[in-house]
Structure 1
Amino acid sequence: MEPLFNWESTALIVIDLQKGVVSGNYAPFSGEQVTEKAKALVDVFRKKGSFVGLVRVSSRDGKDMLSPKVDAAPPQRDRSEDWDEIIPEIGVTDTDHVISKKQWGAFYGTDLDLQLRRRKLDTIVLCGIASGIGVDTTAREAFQHGYQLIFASDAISGLTQNEHDYVMSAIFPRVGRIRTTEEILQSANR
């Protein structure tokens, strides 16, 4: 059986598991459930010496965030002093790369693509919150940059069940492969 991916050329990208985001209401998984699965992935990727990118949306005053006229505004976040800190369950180690974004996707206006290419990484395992915003936009950007994608299906959750179901069934299979956290972790034994 062909391995799911090569550890030497694969990065784990964790989307918005930060204090001001994880505490929200999500479906089908709670922030706590996503954190538990993501932590398992982070632990193995760190142990393997693979690239771990921790993405956070960060803007203290919100002035550099997009503010178009829309019919359905995204949820308002409490921007307390520590709202953009990576949650302690995941933490940040010296080997992690923290990506601070101002938009939905982790590529636009950041050094993520540069950091991956410098390390000759061609595959991304993606997890985090929210399915139809940060995860979806990052996935589409990664696809357009030519990366192979693997979605940790039980380590991703959306603002609503409908949003989550749509991207998981209609978008993600068209840009990558969908696997459970356990299936990804089983690759660690190969």
Structure 2
Amino acid sequence: MDDFSINPASTALVLIDLQNGNMARELAPYSSQQVLGSCVSLAQEMRGRGGMVVFVRVLLNELQMPPSDAPLHAPGAPPPPPDASQFAPEAGVEATDVVIVKRQWGAFHATELDQLLRRRGIQTIVLGGIVTNIGVESTARAAHDLGYSLVFVEDAMSGITAEAHDFACKNTFRIMGKVRSTAHVIDALQAGTGDA
């Protein structure tokens, strides 16, 4: 891990679903506020180094929800309030950031994300957000299929359960890319001389 560095010029920070509806969720092992704080720190560092920052949000009232054994939203439950799909104000989305709107778990399907990344010459995606084992993992799987290098910021994401988060970070994500802490990623950005 000591030789880990990130070249901001070819890297995008992609932050998943830091929106009001998710900020109200009970998460583990990190609270939504802890995740948000880590994501804001990463975004500030990335912007300061000239890197690309992407905020993704899902339109909860248009989210695809085919039948399942354990639906995220109980059948017949009232629809989410209109502001549930808006970014949390504390996320600090800036005018220079890219905003992607989606209608499914992952950020690539039926969006312009891949095209925007390729136009910028992005080779590496640093991922964080809510929820680890849903939106983050779905985005990561598509990114892996598309050939991007991946860095998962373990403490800048959280799961519906700690067990689900830990399984993804200790097993799935380590096969697909590199799992690091917020502090480690910020150090790598500051080193900025190599590729992730």
- Give the number of equivalent residue pairs: 187
The CA deviation string for residues 87-129 of structure 1, in whole angstroms up to 9 with x for no partner, is 1112221110110010000000100000000001000000001
Aligned residues of 1:150 and 1:177 also touching (Cα < 8 A): yes
Kept after mapping to 2: 8 A contact 1:20/1:78:
no
Please name the residue that 1:95 is paired with: 96
> In the TM superposition, what is the alpha-carbon distance from 1:25 to its structure 2 partner?
0.2
Alignment of 1:155-174 (within 5 A): 155-174=156-175
CA drift at 1:188: 3.0
How far off is 1:2 after superposition? Answer: 3.8
Which piece of structure 1 moves more, 108-117 or 76-85?
76-85
The answer as to whether partners of 2:18 and 2:129 remain within 8 angstroms in 1 is yes
* Aligned residue in 2 for 1:4: 5
Larger mean CA deviation between 73-82 and 164-173 belongs to 73-82
Question: Shift in Å at residue 22 of structure 1?
Answer: 1.2
Question: What's the TM-score once normalised by structure 1's chain length?
Answer: 0.93
CA distance in 2, matches of 1:78, 1:84: 11
User: What's the Cα RMSD here?
Assistant: 1.5
If the length of structure 2 is used for normalisation, what is the TM-score?
A: 0.90
Q: Which residue of 1 aligns with 2:194?
A: none
Contact 1:42–1:90 (CA<8 Å) still a contact in 2?
no
Q: How far apart in 2 are the matches of 1:165 and 1:143?
A: 20
Give distance in 2, aligned partners of 1:102 and 1:68.
Answer: 13
Aligned-pair distance for 1:81?
2.2
- Deviation of 1:3 after TM superposition, in Å, equals 4.4
Q: State the match for 1:65 in structure 2.
A: 63
**Which one is further off, 92-101 or 77-86?**
77-86
Distance (Å, rounded) in 2 between the aligned partners of 1:81 and 1:178: 34
User: After superposition, what is the alpha-carbon deviation per residue over 1:8-33, rounded to whole angstroms, capped at 9, x for unaligned?
Assistant: 00000000001111111000000001
Q: Which residue of 1 aligns with 2:34?
A: 33
Gaps of 5+ in 1: none
Q: Distance in 2 between matches of 1:150 and 1:42?
A: 14
Q: Secondary structure at the match of 1:43?
A: helix
Aligned-pair distance for 1:144?
0.3
1:8-157 alignment to 2 at 5 Å?
8-59=9-60, 62=61, 64-75=62-73, 79-157=80-158
Residue identity over aligned pairs, in percent, reads: 40
Shift of residue 189, structure 1, vs aligned partner: 2.5
CA distance in 1, matches of 2:16, 2:63: 17
Q: In the aligned structure 1, how far is the partner of 2:56 from the partner of 2:79? A: 18
2:68 is aligned with what amino acid? V
Q: Distance between the aligned counterparts of 1:67 and 1:152, measured in 2?
A: 27
What is the CA distance between 1:85 and its match in structure 2?
1.4
